[in-house]
Structure 1
Amino acid sequence: MTIRAILFDHDGTLVDSEPVHFQMWQQILERRGIRLNEEMYKACYAGKPTDANAVDMVERFHLSGSHEELVSEKSTATQQRLKSTAFSLRPGVKEVLHYLYQRGVALGVVTGAGRNGVDATLRDNALHALFSTVVSGDDVDASKPAPDVYLLAMKRLGLAASQCLAIEDTEHGVKAATGAGISCIAIPNDMTFQHDFSKATAIINGFDDLLVWLNV
């Protein structure tokens, strides 16, 4: 295997967090008299950064408050959830991470969201030692689909794009990775399967299929 590093998105990729984020947004909008159904969430909000979703919601639903207020409420709800428990890992994640680490592949988390979710995942699943770098939206000016988080991850690892592979679950994530010149494998979840993954090198069903694709 010529790939030296595999860079994983967090929400929706390593962890099954989208249903929880959907419920949080539902509650926030319900307090404003807006009903957000699953179909609209999948079409408009799944896999996108909190700030981008908040801006869209204020405009789409003609809310009187600012998008910063929505961001604050969402961040508070997420932090309260993560204090008690991290998001659940997607099936096969822990086994695949340990296998790749043992094979000498450098592992990274590259998320457009804040660092707190990643920290909770690594803490509750004892995964800190496996990762060479963690880059979050807190570390850059422009979050996904801008390539900044991936460019920073490569800089920290001292690797070229051709030496890395990205794993993403959303159209925005694939655009961010490929925008940095990194080949990307898409592993959609139930909330993102309808996204446009035309820029991805391959679309696979789960983490077991990732090892098959890598031929390791």
Structure 2
Amino acid sequence: MLEALLWDVDGTLAETERDGHRVAFNLAFAEAGLPWGWCERRYGELLQVTGGRERLLADMATRADAPATPAAREALARRLHALKNAAYARLVAEDRLRARPGVVGLIRAARAAGLRQAIVTTTSRANVQALLPRLLGPDWADCFDALLCGEDVVAKKPDPEVYTLALRRLGLAPEQALALEDSPAGLQAAQAAGVAVLLRPSAYFPRPPDGAGWTWDEAQPPDLAALRLGHARHTAVA
């Protein structure tokens, strides 16, 4: 029986990767005086790496003009990531990001029905706390029983750590939860934790990967009854 919804954030609740994070990274590069920039294609490639600081380090590994030593690259990545998070918060405050259709209604319906809910994301807590009030209003925290972010785990998605931690916080077994994700890394993380997944394709991940048995239908977005039915079917299959 479905007892909890476990929500990814970036790409799932809103198109934050396309309209928020990439823009914020480029603002951070400019603020730091670096002649760097990530086009949509390059950022899509870097999304294969989870975590903003980790993406910066992956990109620097390919740049001739990046710092020469690992310690210097790490220091620059931390500085740029802080600048990027500040830029992202400004973009959110300017209402540049909107909830994806159907998200707010599902979160509200789940809360009204007494389902537990958790945020399970690799992004920073600051980013989540900037975005969710804009999407859900000032009472956003009342919708969630747990908030698990990048700072809470050692290994980020596709490692299942964030999911196993969320289940532990909620006191639930994997078969009692449903994950809502948009990316292959998120899908792998949830499945590795034994959690059924509803995958919603997003701007950077438009095609469901192999193994995504249940996909959000944009033409007919699911309501809570559909989530319960789909969860029962996919948990039984698993």
Whether TM exceeds 0.5 here: the answer is yes
Contact 1:97 / 1:130 at 8 angstroms: preserved in 2? yes
Mapping of residues 44-123 of structure 1, within 5 Å = 44-45=46-47, 48-65=50-67, 66-82=73-89, 85=93, 87-123=97-133
- In terms of Rg, which structure is larger? 2
Unaligned runs of 5+ residues in structure 2 are 68-72, 230-238
Q: Which digits, 9 at most, give the CA deviation of each residue in 1:91-122, with x for residues without a partner?
A: 22111111111122111111111111222233
Unaligned runs of 5+ residues in structure 1 are none
Contact 2:160 / 2:190 at 8 angstroms: preserved in 1? yes
1:52: Cα distance to partner? 2.3
- Equivalent residue of 1:60, what SS? coil
Paired with 2:132 and 2:220, the residues of 1 have a C-alpha distance of: 20
Structure 1 counterpart of 2:22: 22
Which of these residues, 160, 165, 173, is aligned with residue 147 of structure 1? 160
- Equivalent residue of 1:90, what SS? coil
1:15: Cα distance to partner? 2.2
Paired with 1:88 and 1:47, the residues of 2 have a C-alpha distance of: 24
Check if 1:168 corresponds to 2:181.
Answer: yes
- Equivalent residue of 1:167, what SS? strand
1:46: Cα distance to partner? 6.6
Contact 2:120 / 2:163 at 8 angstroms: preserved in 1? yes
Contact 2:120 / 2:166 at 8 angstroms: preserved in 1? yes
1:35: Cα distance to partner? 4.2
TM, length-normalised to structure 1: 0.87
Query: How many percent identity over aligned positions?
Result: 24
Q: Which moved more, 1:31-40 or 1:151-160?
A: 31-40
Paired with 1:95 and 1:36, the residues of 2 have a C-alpha distance of: 34
Superposed CA RMSD? 2.5
- Equivalent residue of 1:210, what SS? coil
TM, length-normalised to structure 2: 0.79
- Equivalent residue of 2:25, what SS? helix
Change (3 A) 1:215 1:152: closer
1:159: Cα distance to partner? 0.3
Q: Which digits, 9 at most, give the CA deviation of each residue in 1:110-150, with x for residues without a partner?
A: 11111112222333323211111111111111111111111
Contact 1:108 / 1:132 at 8 angstroms: preserved in 2? yes
1:215: Cα distance to partner? 5.4
Equivalenced residues, count: 214
